[in-house]
A = this chain, B = another copy of it.
Amino acid sequence: MTTTTQSQTSLDSVAELAAQLRVDSIRASTSAGSGHPTSSMSAADLLAVLVARHLRYDWDDPDLPANDHLIFSKGHASPLLYSVFKAVGVISEDELMSGYRRFGQRLQGHPTPVLPWVDVATGSLGQGLPDGVGIALAGRYLERRSYRVWVLCGDSEMAEGSMWEALDKAAYYRLSNLIAIVDVNRLGQRGPTELGWDLDAYRRRAEAFGARVIIVDGHNLAAIDDALTEAEYTAVGQPTVVLAQTVKGRGFSEVEDHPDWHGRPFPPDMAERAITELGGIRDLVLRGPRPTGNVAAEAAVPAEDRARPTGSEAATAAEPITYALGRQAATCKAYGDALVALGARDHRIVALDGEVSNSTYAVEFARAYPDRYFEMFIAEQQMVGAATGLAARGYRPFASTFAAFLTRAYDFIRMGAISGVDLRLIGSHAGVEIGADGPSQMALEDLAMMRAVHGATVLYPSDGTSTAALVQTMADTPGISYLRTTRGAYPVLYPAGETFRIGGSKVLRSGHYDDITLVGAGVTLHACLRAADILRNEGIQARVIDCYSIKPIDSATLAAAAVATSGRMVIAEDHHPEGGLGSAVTEALLAAGQSDLRLAHLAVRGMPGSGSGAELLAWAGIDADHIAAAARKLMDPAQANLDWPRLSGRDLR
């Protein structure tokens, strides 16, 4: 074993390292019978130079705040990344050869942060660079540290608009600490890329989006070294894009530049020929430069705080706004107020918004703490990507836009769950309640979308008090948490100080002889309360449940209500019927073993158009009158089948 530890590894050693990275990428993927050796081989020289001579990283302390960051936006080149980990001595030969892509192992098919040297999960192309923007924002504006964020990008993924959203924001925020290295090997999965080896075309695009561009022969080690030196030492107030012309499968003549070898491991005999051509198996262990900059100062920070931001504002314990019972308040406004209060007490709180902060009320946080607010303009994918990067650095991002437009970022939200980051997403203006703007702005799929995210928390408060409480709770909620807010103002239902736990609910009306249960959340809860009043005048006693926590859901309270009201329950939601509140409630009841249910599920079953909120809630069949009518039908033993689809309005289209 040859161990090189000097701070500047010679280019001869780098060449050996590059060969080893290729050989190990081949061996790992062949041993797994799966993986992308050729996509690793094209970038091996780039990574060898980067890791040996430029990446400032203490491999024994991946949490060191001064460490640079290395993101494989082309996550399918995981064999190369894991070969790097072997070469710096943090994983063993054995793990590389027997752990890659195997069940229960951490060297997954695409990198995830189960590995301590990985910041964010990649594998859905076009996300590593947006995530890297978030880390670079943290470094430059919040941590104020000198680390750099190096992102290895594929050329194919430059077709994703999100890559351009990322460069746009990187330029807007002058992220000179962000360096994208694009491995232009000209071949995608099924054939040539759009732009092939036209590096000048990439150059024009990246420059137009505000990046400084350096073009390099991606297999000339000295040239790469010069390029990365230029990238890191010339502070220009711009992100840097290194465009590297490379050859897919470089180093093994049988596959070089061959379109048919994407994502295919070499069969053992072929792997053997490749390894021979590459000069055999090596066992080099070497490391590059250690972090510089403010390492000494950081060493004084207690270890548990090191990855944490140090706020610049005074830690004023701003009291959250309280809401007088019965007063009209919009939950979207309550979100903004609560976030401001939260921001005063916790400097890790940061906020992002997609150019609608005066609607989502993120603007209140932006005004109070401009240093911790990041305007993402109309780029929802980048907004969630930046939030992911910020969360990976220990911040607590709240990212908001209209609930409808969070659908734009679904792939990023899904990947955030795989990254295991804690993201707080706020979707305002949900449902037909918004009225005149029409269906494009309504969000009738968001609850389904968010519930299906692994480990997600889905909240839908109905008043100012509960919104304020839940926003505060979200700051400490792990995983992806989602808060759905409402445009219009509705009466405050809860006194100040009322607590709202995740997975809880509130029983707002109940008695010993309840006939039926009405379940609502957000705007429909108010309709349930009015329906209960209507029914009471008719002698029907309704229990009313505020299901503000849709995931997890309060199964016990729902089940008890079902038992108490002979299985009779009306569920009303301002959402399409699939996957939202109705699904959550019915699945909870069934999972809890409830039978003998007699349910009515009121939801938005048609395609809405414009109108007033009240008109549309009535049209959808989710207002107080329809809830009361459904309750009456459920009380009628002669009514065998409610025929849910006929309970609501038809298309307005």
Please name all residues of chain B whose beta carbon is closer than 8 Å to the beta carbon of A501 when the two chains form the complex.
none
Q: Is the CB of A357 within 8 A of B110?
A: no
Q: A93 → chain B, closest Cβ, in Å?
A: 19
The minimal Cβ–Cβ distance linking A573 to chain B, given in whole angstroms, is 12
Chain B residues positioned under 8 Å from A612 (CB to CB)? 103
Give Cα A448–Cα B454 distance, bound, in whole angstroms: 12
Instruction: Chain B residues near A467: list those with CB within 8 A.
Output: none
A378, B108: Cβ atoms under 8 Å?
Answer: no
Tell me whether A114 and B194 are in contact (CB under 8 A): no
- Please, which residue of chain B has its CB at the minimum distance from the CB of A171? B194
Question: Contacts A101-B610, A160-B378: A597 and B590 contacting too (C-beta < 8 A)?
Answer: yes
Measured between C-beta atoms, what is the minimum distance from A322 to chain B in Å?
A: 27
A589 to B581, CA, bound (A): 17
In the complex, are the beta carbons of B378 and A157 less than 8 A apart? yes
The answer to whether the Cβ of A440 comes within 8 Å of any Cβ in the partner chain is yes
- Name the residue among A124, A358, A578, A593 with the largest chain B CB count within 10 angstroms: A578
Give the complex CA separation of A507 and B165 in angstroms.
49
Query: Whole-angstrom distance from the CB of A5 to the nearest CB of chain B?
Result: 33
B580 touches A436 (CB 8 A): no
For the complex, is A300 an interface residue (Cβ under 8 Å from B)?
Answer: no
Please tell me if A379 contacts chain B, counting CB pairs below 8 Å. yes
Q: Is the CB of A194 within 8 A of B172?
A: yes
> A448-B451, A595-B595 are contacts. A441–B587 as well, Cβ < 8 Å?
no
Chain B residues positioned under 8 Å from A601 (CB to CB): 587, 590-591
Docked complex Cα distance between A179 and B382 (Å): 27
Chain B residues whose C-beta falls within 8 Å of the C-beta of A197 in the assembled complex: none
B379 and A161 contacting across the interface, CB-CB below 8 Å: yes
Kindly list chain B residues whose C-beta atoms are within 8 Å of the C-beta of A105. Answer: 609-610
Interface string of A32-65 (1 = CB under 8 A from B): 1111000000000000000000000000000000
Contacts of A444 in B (CB 8 A): 452, 454
Residue contact A607 to B165, C-beta cutoff 8 Å = no
**8 A Cβ contacts from A582-634 to B:** 582-584, 586-587, 590-593, 595-599, 601, 606-607, 609-612, 615-616, 619
Contact A615 B159 (CB under 8 A): no
**B653, A420: Cβ atoms closer than 8 Å:** yes
Q: Select one of B156, B205, B405, B642 contacting A593, CB under 8 A.
A: B642
Q: How far does the alpha carbon of A229 sit from the alpha carbon of B593 in the complex, in Å? A: 70
Q: Does the CB pair A452–B576 fall under 8 Å? A: yes
- Find out whether the CB atom of B377 lies under 8 angstroms from the CB atom of A193: yes
Asked if A75 is at the interface (CB within 8 A of a chain B CB), the reply is yes
Does A448 lie within 8 Å of B452, measured CB to CB? yes
With A159-B165, A188-B378, A189-B358: A595-B592 Cβ-Cβ less than 8 Å: no
B578 touches A583 (CB 8 A): yes
Residues from chain B with a CB closer than 8 A to the CB of A607 are: 417-418, 454-455
Task: Please indicate the chain B residues that have their CB under 8 angstroms from the CB of A536 in the complex.
Answer: none
- Residues of chain B lying within 8 A (CB to CB) of residue A653: 112, 114, 418, 420
Instruction: Indicate if the CB atoms of A121 and B440 lie closer than 8 Å.
Output: yes
0/1 interface trace, chain A 107-125, chain B, CB 8 Å (1 if under): 1111010100000011111
Q: Is the CB of B596 within 8 A of A75?
A: no
- Taking CB atoms, residues of chain B closer than 8 Å to A597 are 590, 595, 597
Whether B452 contacts A103 by the Cβ 8 Å rule is no
Which residues on the B side are within 8 Å of A616 (C-beta)?
103
CA distance A587 to B589 in the complex (A): 12
**Contacts A159-B377, A441-B109; A592 near B641 (Cβ below 8 A):** yes
State A609–B168 Cα separation when bound (angstroms): 33
Give 1 or 0 for each of A560-577: 1 = CB within 8 Å of chain B CB. Answer: 000000010000000111
* Chain B nearest Cβ from A266, distance in angstroms: 16
Whether the Cβ atoms of B34 and A355 lie closer than 8 Å is no
Known A123-B438, A161-B161; judge A356-B190 contact (CB<8 A).
yes
Per-position 1/0 for A408-420, Cβ under 8 A of B: 1011001101101
Please indicate the chain B residues that have their CB under 8 angstroms from the CB of A407 in the complex: 410-411, 414
Residue A462 at the chain B interface, CB threshold 8 Å: no
A377 touches which of B188, B356, B381 (Cβ 8 Å)? B188
Q: Taking A205-B208, A363-B190, A601-B591 as contacts, is the C-beta distance between A404 and B124 under 8 angstroms?
A: yes
By beta carbon, the residue of chain B nearest A642 is: B593
Residue contact B165 to A161, C-beta cutoff 8 Å: yes
Q: Is A391 an interface residue (CB 8 A)?
A: no
Residues of B within 8 A of A12 (CB): none
Max chain B Cβ within 10 angstroms of own Cβ: one of A122, A435, A575? A435
Could you say which residues of chain B place their CB within 8 Å of the CB of A640? 593
Q: What are 21 contact pairs spanning A and B, CB under 8 A?
A: A101-B611, A105-B610, A108-B438, A108-B609, A124-B405, A124-B440, A126-B378, A156-B355, A160-B378, A205-B205, A380-B411, A414-B445, A415-B440, A444-B452, A448-B452, A448-B579, A451-B578, A578-B584, A582-B587, A591-B643, A595-B598
